[in-house]
Amino acid sequence: MKEILMLGAGSVGGFFGARLARQNPGVSFLLRPNTLAAVKRNGLTIRSVDGTFTVRPQAASDARELPRPDLIVLGVKAYDLDEVLDQIEPVLTDKTVILTLQNGIDTEDRLLARLQRDCVVGGVAYIYSKIAEPGVIDHYKKGAVAIGELMGHESTRLLAIRDLFASAGIPCHLSKDIRRAKWEKMCWNCVFNPITVLIDDHVAKALDHPEMTGVIRQIVGEVAAVSAALKVPLPADMPERVVKTTQEIRDIHTSMYDDWKAGRRTEIDYLNGYIVKKGRELGIPTPVNEALTAMIKTITEKEHTGPGWIRIEGAVVQPVSFDRTAIAALPAEHYLDVSTVMPDMKGRGIRLKGLLDIPALAIDADHVAFHAVDGKYSACLTLQQAREYGVLVFELDGAPLPDAKGGPFRLITPGLGDLCANVKGVGRIEITKGPGRDTRQTVCPPSP
């Protein structure tokens, strides 16, 4: 295996790839543009308790610009798998081997289903490292891998990969049951990744509270039940093993915690979310993992913005956002049959009073400005006018209001005159103290 292609230079792929590149000139990296620019400019740097070093490997954002690989090492997030497969398929040969070093359980099966050939070696990474900045990885603890053939045999390619890692000083254990090794790590991941986010702290905070013991047992029990149903039985004392192995790394955060704090997407769908999905398919209850999945998504996913969403902000205690589903769930007394005020439009709207009653407005707020998504148009009403006359149209013939009709949200003010306030494509409602921005040439008179 002369040519080795590392996919990604994150906390896992960056560390192991850099260690391999120190000993092997045939190591190259497929990187995203911002990381690629940093690596081309400054190299790939590992700042480790074992010493700091920098390598300058071949790197590109197009796999076709790099040597055709004998071995591909997947160091990207589980949710990026389909995208990177699209990128590497043009350079795959009948002899290319793919080593997986990702969290989750189904990476190997997804690869085999798509590539339809025996090209996958399973792997598990044991490491505590973080991305300090693009092209710079801080390594704190561990730094070993376990690899194995999915059928458990000791193949020539498996030994060749082991020798590559060993020559780079990376501990590499050959596993006769790599699927079980992955499930054992899955137990740890499903416990401490979400818990560190929920408690906003390192793993010791969870270990030191006796009340968490039962929670850990329930999480692992659900994972083990799904694992057993998929023909990978785990030891009965798996919860105790999870706790025991964590004692020596009790000061760490987790990759999910680091991703959350850095504003990156988490792998919750491939950890606890995967257990929930498989549990449903197999008829196995997974209530604790389901709760963890829901809570992590609620905490970590960014607030929805853009097309299909409208946000009330400005002089409010807390901004609030709505989509059509959220608006349709508000009390029925706020709805209006738009055809009663606009005969040529058969649809539904909501009186602004119903929306403006939801956020807590500043005590001295007195105006409301309605801004189009494109930022070109806005109309300002007094708070009294908005509550009395304002209607937000969001539905036409039972479907979302189309852009051609001013959707997805259109402001109308029946009773204040045709030119008073009619903003198409409303994306933002701004509560103000005093008049806000108004692009209309003709402004309606003040409310009596």
| Encoded tokens for 118 | 């025996």
Residue ranges per structural domain of the chain:
1-176, 178-302, 309-432
Per-residue pLDDT of the chain (448 residues; tens, 9 = 90+): 899 999 999 999 999 999 999 989 999 999 999 999 999 999 999 999 889 999 999 999 999 999 999 999 999 999 999 999 999 999 999 999 999 999 999 999 999 999 999 999 999 999 999 999 999 999 998 999 999 999 999 999 999 999 999 999 999 999 999 999 999 999 999 999 999 999 999 999 999 988 999 999 999 999 999 999 999 999 999 999 999 999 988 888 999 999 999 999 999 999 999 999 999 999 999 999 999 999 999 999 877 667 789 999 999 999 999 998 888 888 889 998 988 887 877 888 999 999 999 999 999 999 999 999 988 899 999 999 999 999 999 998 888 989 988 889 999 998 886 556 688 999 999 999 999 999 886 656 555 5
CATH architecture assigned to 1-176: 3-Layer(aba) Sandwich (3.40)
Under DSSP, is residue 167 helix (H, G, I), strand (E, B) or coil? helix
Distance of CA 305 to the CA centre of its chain: 16
178-302 architecture in CATH? Orthogonal Bundle (1.10)
Give CA–CA dist 280/275, Å, rounded: 9
CB 73 within 8 A of CB 7: yes
The pLDDT value recorded for residue 447 is 52
- pTM of this prediction? 0.79
| Amino acid in the structure at residue 233 | P
Helices H / strands E in the chain, number of each = 15, 20
Q: What is the pLDDT of residue 250?
A: 87
Give the three-state DSSP class for 170.
coil
Say which residues have a Cβ less than 8 Å from residue 231's Cβ, sequence separation at least 6. Answer: none
Residue 14 to residue 125: CA distance in whole angstroms: 12
Those residues with Cβ within 8 angstroms of residue 447's Cβ, 6 or more apart along the chain or in another chain = 382, 384, 385, 388
Give me the pLDDT at residue 343, please: 81
pLDDT given at position 429: 95
Per-residue pLDDT at 339: 87
Residue with tokens 């494109």, as numbered in its chain: 374
239-269 burial, b at 16+ Cβ within 10 Å, e below that, comes to beebbeebeebeebbbbbbbbbeeeeebbbb
- Tell which phi-psi region holds residue 402, choosing left (phi > 0), alpha (psi between -120 and 50) or beta: beta
**Environment class of 75 (CB within 10 Å of its CB; exposed 0-12, middle 13-18, buried 19+):** buried
Cα–Cα nearest to 14, from 97, 101, 78: 101
Range 309-432 classified under CATH 3.90.420.10: yes
